[in-house]
Amino acid sequence: MRFQSSRYMTRGVSTQIPIATQLRIWELIEMIPVPADYLQIFRLEGSDGVQRITHEQEEPVYRNEISFPCDNPVNAKIYVIDDETHCTMLLAEEY
């Protein structure tokens, strides 16, 4: 079962992504209704107090979008990778 190991984040995520958004990303991974791929992709788009997250994976194909009110919405692309010993959340540019 994927994404059950200890969870970590990079410095970029911890300094640039609000904690509420980080928690939503972990929740989206926990709720995925298909077998989870080792790589989860999140596109964050924010404006006017609303954060939109598009969650995708390649195999099996999966896509979900959510929006929620947020005091400080951000624009970013985030990867969450499960290497079977730990799960890491990182900004795409940190890959």
- The pLDDT tens digits for 31-55 are 999 999 999 999 999 999 999 999 9
- The pLDDT tens digits for 53-87 are 999 999 999 999 999 999 999 999 999 999 999 99
Task: Supply the pLDDT for residue 25.
Answer: 98
- Describe the strand order of the beta sheet including 6-9 as a list of residue ranges: 6-9, 86-91, 76-82, 39-47, 50-57, 62-69
* CA–CA distance, 62 with 52 (Å, rounded to integer): 17
Superfamily of domain 6-94 in the CATH hierarchy: enterococcus faecalis protein (3.10.450.150)
Q: For the chain, give every domain's residue range.
A: 6-94
* CA–CA distance, 18 with 46 (Å, rounded to integer): 12
Backbone angles phi, psi at 94, to 5 degrees: -90, -5
Task: Supply the pLDDT for residue 53.
Answer: 98
